[in-house]
Structure formats: C-alpha cells, structure tokens
C-alpha cells in the first residue's frame, strides 16, 4: 500500500508538472504568434505624401478580414481609443488597447464581452518626413477558447496515458511483490504445519535471504524440545532422590511408634505433608505450558478414555456420562497436562453428581484458528456463589463428607492458568455445577 501511494503520488505530481509546463509553453507560443501578427501589421502599413502613417487596408492574415473569427487587431495614436481596427471586430466593441512606450510589449489575458482573450499591446514611434515623431500602439488579440480546447485535449491525453501507466506499474509492482514475498508465505505455511503437528521442522526450499531465519527457527524448536525433555528428566530424578529419604523417615516413625515410644503423630504428619508438598510442586513445575509451535492433542480420544475409566471406578453408582465432542477440537500443549485437568474435573463431577454428567468440547475460532472450550456439567447440588473462590484453593473442600483431599480442582486450575486459559464456575441447566474451560488461540 505504501509503495502504491508513493507511485500514485509521484505520477500525480509528474502529471501536474507536465500540465503546468505545457500551459506555460502554449501561452509563450501564443505570445510569439500574436507578436508576429503585430510585425505583419507594421509591414502592411503605408505612408502619405508627408510621411505620416496610413493604417493597413490589406491585411496579411485572412482571419483579420473575417468577422468574429477570433483574431482581432486595432491600432491608435496617442490616447487609449482605437483609430483603426480589423474587419474581424465588426459588430464587436473591445476596450483592450493600452498605450505603450515605443518598443515595449505587454502580454496579458483579459475577459471582455463574454470572451477570454490573450492580448499583446506594442508601442511604436513613427517619424514623418519633417522629423516629427508620432506614438502609435498596435494591439492584437486572440480568443482563448481554442487555447483552452487544446489544453483540455492535452490533459485528457496526458492523464489517460499516466492513468494507464500507473495501472500497469501497480499491477507489475503487485506481481513482483507477490513473487518476492512468496518465500515468507511459504515459511508461514510451514510453521502452521508444525503447529498442527504435521511437521517437526522447516524443511522447505527457501532462498538464501531466509536461511538465517529458518535455521534459527529450527534451532529454537529443537532446543525447546531438548530443554523440556531435560527439565522433566531432572524433575523425575529429583522426585526419585527425595522419595527414598522420605520413605526412611516414615519407616523410622513407624518403628518408634511400634516399640513403645511416644506418639510421633506430628512428626509423621509433617513427613506426609512434606511428601505432598514435593509431589504438588513437582507436578506444578512439570506442567509444560503452551508453546506456539506445539503439536495439537486431540481432545476426543482423551475424554473417551477417561469416561471409560470413570465408569469402572464408579460402577456402583448409576451415572450417565454424556459427551458432545467436536472431532476437530484440539489442545495445544502436553497430553499429560490435559489428562490431569480433565481427570480431576470429571472425577469431581462424578463424585458430586446424582446420576448425570455431561462433557462437551468445541474449537473456539473467535480469536484464532486453534482455540478450545471444554464444558463439564453435573446434576448435583452445585457450587454456591460464595464458594467459587474457596473450592479453587488447595486443600479447601465444599463437602467434607465426600472422600478426597481437596487438591484436584486447585491443581486443575493451576494447570489451566499456566496455559493462559480460564476456568469459570457457574450453575448448570442440569441443576449442578458447570465448569467452563477456555483456551484462547495462539
């Protein structure tokens, strides 16, 4: 757009400059032509026996003899009044004669009698045989209509050619830019293939100008995967290293309690709490988080797998678990994180429902092409508005009579937040709670 505006502005200024130059040149040509007519009139004048000027009767230019031809001439001695005029002024009255000093010429444009005229006044000194000098002014005028018609014709030709040239140049420029930017569109298309999980790196045939970009992007993708693997391996090593000391402490407390020592309940409680904290922090740190170039994880198979598992877990409770799954719905992140979120939320729904649970998943295309929205509903007692923030806190539960530790919902909320998503709790049309998970597109 910027290049098009610059080109259009340049051609516009060029057109105005050419139009101005042509007008100035045409007016200069008119002045020279009118001045030559004056010289022709001077050549046609005669003199009497005393050497005084006799105005011409036979004019060299035929248009001077044709009434209202558009070319007019007049001459006068002394004052501004005309003493002689050409036959072309028959029936017209023009006040265009202005006395000039000998040898002086004035060119101007005037409007009179409904006409626009270009006028030249030229001063002449005529000396008779006795040596007396008389001052005369010759005036020639031409109708500007022909000049304006010529200007309009030139403008039409000029702007027609410039317009056609601008169209051709803009079309050529667009084609060149489209061809020149094609490699960038190819890179963008290949990146979308990586986002969709159909490719792992940029392997296209790119021009050398993009080698730095594509190689750095490939290095970034590979390093990101390597860092993630090393990070998770380190977390696994840490968990394994802490597991043995905690188990030893736990066995020591059990041994002392069994041999008659005082109750070590507080110590054992702290060891268990330490174990829980470590597991929680490791779980939280291990969440991958959303990556722009991460491959998609299909939601439907994970939900169906969880539903089958939960039906086995709650086989003694008559629960109808319904699903409304968009087959194109995808989660851009780690599969285990999505499994953790849906597993905790579906497990809570099954715990607190009466007999019905519904889960739906749909792609959210409002912000981008890969958003996701998941809704989990049940027909239980629901969650009171004043409890919405409480149940998201770790260890806080709404119903202490239901088995659990009160960390599933808070853990799911933390994972959703890490991925930039939102978890909203509202009332469900089924009568219980509705948990709506939204992930914006990347």
The yes-or-no verdict on residue 25 having pLDDT over 50 is yes
Residue 342: phi and psi, rounded to 5, are -65, -35
Look at the chain and report how many structural domains it folds into.
3
- Residues 84, 69: Cα–Cα separation, whole Å: 17
Average pLDDT value over all residues in the chain: 83
Same domain, 13 and 123: yes
- Residues 377, 280: Cα–Cα separation, whole Å: 26
Q: What is the CATH number of the domain that holds 309?
A: 3.30.565.10
Same domain, 358 and 414: yes
Query: Does a structural domain hold residue 74?
Result: yes
Nearest of 54, 67, 36 to residue 140 by alpha carbon: 36
Same domain, 270 and 312: no
The yes-or-no verdict on residue 399 having pLDDT over 60 is no
Residue 126: phi and psi, rounded to 5, are -115, 125
**pTM (2 decimals)?**
0.48
Q: Which of 151, 168, 183 is the last residue of a domain?
A: 151
Same domain, 307 and 226: no
Same domain, 232 and 362: no
- Residues 6, 224: Cα–Cα separation, whole Å: 43
Burial tier of 250 (Cβ tally within 10 Å: 0-12, 13-18, 19+): middle
Q: What is the largest CA-CA distance in the chain?
A: 164
Nearest of 150, 88, 91, 142 to residue 119 by alpha carbon: 142
- Between 42-46, 134-138, 156-160, 363-367, the lowest mean confidence (pLDDT) is in 363-367
- 8 Å CB contact between 11 and 165: yes
DSSP symbols for 379-426 = SSS---GGGTTTTTSTT--S-TTS-S-S-HHHHHHHHHHHTT-EEEEE
- Residues 383, 386: Cα–Cα separation, whole Å: 8
| 216-267 per-position pLDDT tens digit | 888 888 887 777 777 777 777 776 677 777 777 777 777 766 554 544 556 6
Query: Does a structural domain hold residue 193?
Result: no
| 114-148 per-position pLDDT tens digit | 888 999 999 999 988 888 888 999 999 999 888 88
The single residue listed with the structure tokens 């001063």 is 123
Three-state helix/strand/coil letters over 177-201: HHHHHHHHHHHHHHHHHHHCCCCCC
Q: Give the pLDDT confidence score for residue 404 in this predicted structure.
A: 47
| 431-440 per-position pLDDT tens digit | 999 999 998 7
Q: Which of 234, 257, 286 is the last residue of a domain?
A: 286
Confidence of residue 289 (pLDDT cuts 50, 70, 90): low
The yes-or-no verdict on residue 91 having pLDDT over 60 is yes
- 8 Å CB contact between 292 and 220: no
User: Residue 103 is inside which H or E element, if any?
Assistant: none
Mean pLDDT of the region 43-70: 86
- 8 Å CB contact between 41 and 204: no
Query: Does a structural domain hold residue 156?
Result: no
Same domain, 322 and 415: yes
| 268-287 per-position pLDDT tens digit | 667 776 776 666 566 655 55
Distances (CA, A) of 14 to 67, 70, 231: 41, 33, 64
Percent of the chain with pLDDT strictly greater than 90: 28
Same domain, 127 and 266: no
Same domain, 349 and 313: yes
The yes-or-no verdict on residue 109 having pLDDT over 60 is yes
The yes-or-no verdict on residue 288 having pLDDT over 60 is no
Q: Give the pLDDT confidence score for residue 405 in this predicted structure.
A: 45
Query: Does a structural domain hold residue 231?
Result: yes
Structural domain containing residue 93 = 2-151
- 8 Å CB contact between 430 and 355: no
Same domain, 239 and 309: no
The single residue listed with the structure tokens 């039409």 is 156
| Side-chain half-sphere exposure of 344, counting CA atoms within 13 A | 20
Same domain, 48 and 7: yes
Same domain, 308 and 396: yes
Q: Which of 241, 260, 286 is the last residue of a domain?
A: 286
């Amino acid at each position: 757009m910027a290049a098009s505006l610059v080109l259009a502005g340049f051609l516009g200024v060029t057109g105005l400059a050419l139009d101005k130059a042509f007008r100035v040149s045409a007016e200069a040509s008119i002045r020279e032509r009118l001045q030559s007519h004056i010289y022709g009139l001077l050549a046609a004048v005669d003199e009497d026996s005393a050497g005084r000027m006799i105005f011409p009767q036979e004019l060299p230019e035929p248009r001077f003899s044709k009434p209202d031809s558009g070319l007019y001439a007049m001459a006068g001695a002394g004052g501004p009044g005309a003493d002689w005029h050409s036959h072309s002024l028959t029936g017209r009255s023009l006040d265009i004669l202005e006395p000039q000093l000998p040898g002086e010429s004035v060119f101007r444009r005037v409007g009179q009698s409904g006409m626009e005229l270009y006028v030249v006044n030229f001063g002449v000194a005529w000396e008779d045989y006795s040596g007396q000098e008389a001052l005369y002014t010759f005036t020639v005028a031409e109708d500007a209509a022909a000049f304006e018609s010529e200007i309009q014709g030139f403008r039409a030709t000029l702007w027609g050619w410039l317009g056609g040239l601008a169209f051709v140049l803009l079309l050529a420029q667009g084609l060149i830019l489209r061809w020149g930017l094609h490699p960038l569109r190819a890179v963008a298309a290949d990146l979308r293939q990586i986002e969709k999980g159909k490719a792992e790196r940029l392997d296209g045939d790119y021009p050398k100008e993009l080698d730095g970009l594509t190689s750095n992007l490939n290095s970034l993708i590979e390093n990101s995967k390597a860092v993630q693997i090393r990070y998770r391996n380190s977390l696994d090593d840490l968990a394994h290293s802490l597991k043995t000391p905690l188990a030893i402490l736990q066995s020591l407390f059990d041994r002392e309690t069994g041999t008659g020592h005082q109750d070590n309940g507080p110590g054992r409680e702290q060891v268990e709490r330490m174990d829980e904290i470590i597991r929680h922090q490791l779980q939280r740190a291990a969440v991958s988080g959303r990556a722009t170039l991460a491959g998609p994880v299909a939601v439907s198979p994970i939900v169906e797998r969880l539903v089958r598992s939960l039906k086995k877990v709650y086989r003694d409770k008559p629960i109808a678990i319904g699903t409304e799954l968009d087959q194109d719905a995808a989660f851009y992140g780690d599969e285990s994180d999505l499994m953790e979120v849906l597993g905790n939320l579906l497990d809570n729904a099954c715990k607190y429902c009466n007999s019905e649970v519904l889960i739906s998943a749909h792609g959210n295309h409002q912000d981008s092409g890969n958003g996701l929205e998941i809704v989990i509903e049940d027909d239980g007692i629901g969650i009171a508005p004043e409890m919405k923030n409480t149940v998201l806190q770790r260890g806080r539960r709404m119903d202490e009579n239901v088995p659990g530790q009160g960390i599933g919902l808070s853990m799911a909320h933390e994972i959703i937040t890490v991925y930039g998503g939102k978890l909203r709790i509202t009332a469900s049309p089924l009568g219980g709670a509705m948990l709506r998970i939204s992930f914006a597109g990347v």
